[in-house]
Structure 1
Amino acid sequence: MTDEQSPSQPQDAGPQPIPPAGGPDMDLGGYLSAAWSLVTGDFVLFVIGYLVVAAILGVSVLTVIGPLIIGGPLWFGYFRVVQTRLKGEPASIGDVFQGFRDFGKGFLTFLLLALIVLGVVVVQMLLSLIPVLGILLTLCVSLVVGPMFFFVMPIAALSDVSPTDAISRSVKFCFANFWKMVLLSLVLGLIAMAGGLVCGIGALFTVPLAIVATVAAYNEYYLPKTQDAV
């Protein structure tokens, strides 16, 4: 698998060209296989690590704005734990807190994504007022928005790219590889949500599985394509 770009390495913060449609093909089965092997092989790290993140965010809801403040750094840490293990290096549950070293970047990334989600929800609510057609339009919005911002978190967490550039690059990559990104985000999204059907307990396994597959796709699909485009 392709190594991440270390957050300490210099990187051009300028706009990235739209990646070509060619390059490495998407291997959804390969990403899921790698994720399954990693999560089942290091079950405690990924499941308990996710539980720690989810529990902290759950408690922080009591402060109303808590999740908005600490959500980004916590997810940064979890994504970096995943990347570390995908590289074959050791990691511990405590490493989920390493994202607080980039608190400002994590906070801004999460804030921007939250604002985007809020905007999408408002649009969907307005569209739902349209008889019959509104339901179809809201579904279409979800199918487009999910792929557009699919790689924002791994791009921001695993490289020197700024939050705004991470959003820009994820969107450009999506539209250059649209249908494959729709498939990737839809399948991994359904897998993540599937665990919630088992009294929510299953999410302790399916969400980490989807996140690991996302980082694997970032390494093996996104990075090679964007590097070819530079």
Structure 2
Amino acid sequence: MFTSPHDMGEQPKPPSPSTLPVPSPTTFDTSSPISHDASCPFCTISKVYLPYDPSSPPAPSSKSVSPELTFPNPSTFILLSTPLLTAFLDIMPLSPGHLLLCPRAHRPKLTDVTPDEAAELGKYVRILSAAVSKATGIQDWNVVQNNGAAAAQVVPHCHFHIIPRPELRDKRAERFTSTMFGRGQRDELDDEEGEKLAGEIRAAIAEVLLEDAEKAKL
């Protein structure tokens, strides 16, 4: 049974203070058509990181994707931000590139998402899987989605895990061998490593979208 650090209620140490503008994690724009829950960490991420065109992602140095925008909560390494969805790196990954994909609106379970959101989630599960494989070079992965406390969901906001699985011969697998089934030691994501990997995955998403567009012309 897989859980994320968010599911497990773990709170890594916050990043150092930043001079960047910091939106309040409990203040939401009531004029927005998107419904949010001020107590939900995924809603905070959804509110802070505004949508951008995934085929032309912001530069890694752009403030719009800065990990520190969620200060004083854990840093967020954003990978995707569309009008309907957000995706970001897991803060205590089971493997390099472990990410979470969720609807931007507050939807407690998969059955709560709208048909449009469900279609977009299905589309981007495939795109993100391909992008993470490109960025990490890891060719195998799990897709996991939990619904409800009995199914190991603690944060009541629908989300998919995409979890790359390095081969045992891959040196990166050494730290993660004991967590093959979601158990064992998990290390906090290093900020520098996370920022670099997030930029690589955003670029890989753009590549996958370009490849899809080229295939559609054939």
Higher RCO by CA contacts (8 Å cutoff, separation 6 or greater): 1
Tell me the TM-score normalized by structure 2: 0.33
Tell me the TM-score normalized by structure 1: 0.31
Higher strand content, 1 or 2: 2
Higher helix content, 1 or 2: 1
> Max radius of gyration: which structure?
1
